[in-house]
């Protein structure tokens, strides 16, 4: 009879949004994917296409290139966030001085399995995931049936429910 308890880490399916609007945007996204692929106890299982998108928010800035990555990881949500922020700052020299401002790399945890988490500096699912076409289009490409754990709706349903607007073009 097998053991009821194991010390093996439990892996979760996690979706990470990638965005860049400074420098070589495509190279930046590919570098970010490579860096995430180096994380301990983490493996990449899917990558969406890349999409040229208009910036959202009050800051005038260049268009973004966005994508979504699916990984399986045994890292805790907080540890994963720390690693993603390390990649943003160490690899891409991100400085967080203007909210929603231009950046070489933005990495956000969208979904972490079916987890619902609200801590200081970490909210999962991402609080604006269901409102953003630039996230839902690439997410629906790789996981249309994924359920938003808080809203109980599939990603493709969330995408269809968005009002028209917000241009998202596959490159």
Catalytic center residues: 93, 103, 106, 108
How is 100-153 classified by DSSP, letter by letter? T---S-EEEEEEETT--EEETTEEES-TTGGG-HHHHHHHHHH-TT-B-TTT--
Q: Is 168 helix (H, G, I), strand (E, B) or coil?
A: strand
Q: Is 41 helix (H, G, I), strand (E, B) or coil?
A: coil
SS3 track for 46-76: EECCCEEECCCCCCCCCCEEEEEEEEEECCC
Q: Is 32 helix (H, G, I), strand (E, B) or coil?
A: helix
The Cβ of residue 32 has, within 10 Å, a number of other Cβ atoms equal to 25
């Amino acid at each position: 009879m097998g053991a009821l308890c194991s010390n093996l880490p439990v892996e979760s399916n996690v979706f990470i949004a990638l965005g860049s609007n400074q420098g070589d945007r495509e190279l930046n996204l590919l570098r970010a994917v490579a860096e995430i692929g180096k994380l301990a106890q983490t493996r990449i299982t899917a990558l969406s296409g890349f999409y040229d998108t208009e910036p959202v928010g009050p800051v005038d800035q260049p268009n973004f290139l966005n994508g979504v990555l699916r990984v399986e990881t045994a890292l805790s949500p907080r540890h994963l966030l720390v690693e993603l922020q390390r990649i943003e700052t160490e690899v891409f020299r991100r400085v967080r001085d203007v909210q929603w401002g231009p950046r070489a790399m933005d990495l956000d945890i969208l979904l972490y399995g079916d987890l619902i988490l609200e801590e200081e500096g970490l909210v999962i699912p991402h609080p604006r995931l269901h409102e953003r076409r630039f996230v839902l289009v690439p997410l629906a490409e790789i996981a249309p049936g994924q359920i938003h754990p808080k809203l109980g709706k599939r990603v493709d349903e969330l995408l269809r429910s968005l009002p028209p607007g917000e241009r998202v073009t596959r490159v």
